[in-house]
Amino acid sequence: MPQPLRRRLAEFEISTAQEMGWGRVKNGDLLKLAEDKFDAFLTSDQQLKYQQNLKGRKLAILVLSTNRWPQVKARTQEIIAAVLALKPGDYVELTL
């Protein structure tokens, strides 16, 4: 995700994989680690649903169609609304 998005999502507690020391962790293990610490996982990895078994996860996942800042910036309010609407186990793709 673009770094400026963090400021726009200031109402949420946000940590990056790198900040958590998970920078080299692969997606499957990353999801397991995140599930133990967080309620939601934001990514722009559109292949995630094909690469990982997401059934039975309690972690909500929001996939943005791009991580390009101009598009993300223009749709920040929609991203916030999508995050607020997430429920445990949700998998939501948001086209920006």
Domain chopping of the chain, boundaries: 4-94
Per-residue three-class SS string for 12-49: CCCCCCCCCCCCCCCHHHHHHHHHHHCCEEEECCCCHH
pLDDT of residue 1: 86
Strand order in the sheet with 60-64: 40-43, 60-64, 91-94
Q: What is the pLDDT along the chain (96 residues), one digit of tens a residue?
A: 888 999 999 999 999 999 999 999 988 899 999 999 999 999 999 999 999 989 999 999 999 999 999 999 999 999 999 999 999 999 999 999
pTM of the model: 0.92
For residue 58, the one-letter residue type is K
**What was the pLDDT predicted at 80?**
96
Tokens of 79: 């991203």
Question: Residue 21: its pLDDT value, please?
Answer: 95
Kindly write down the DSSP assignment for every residue of 68-84, as one continuous string.
-HHHHHHTHHHHHHHHH
Report the pLDDT value the prediction gives residue 81, as an integer from 0 to 100. Answer: 97
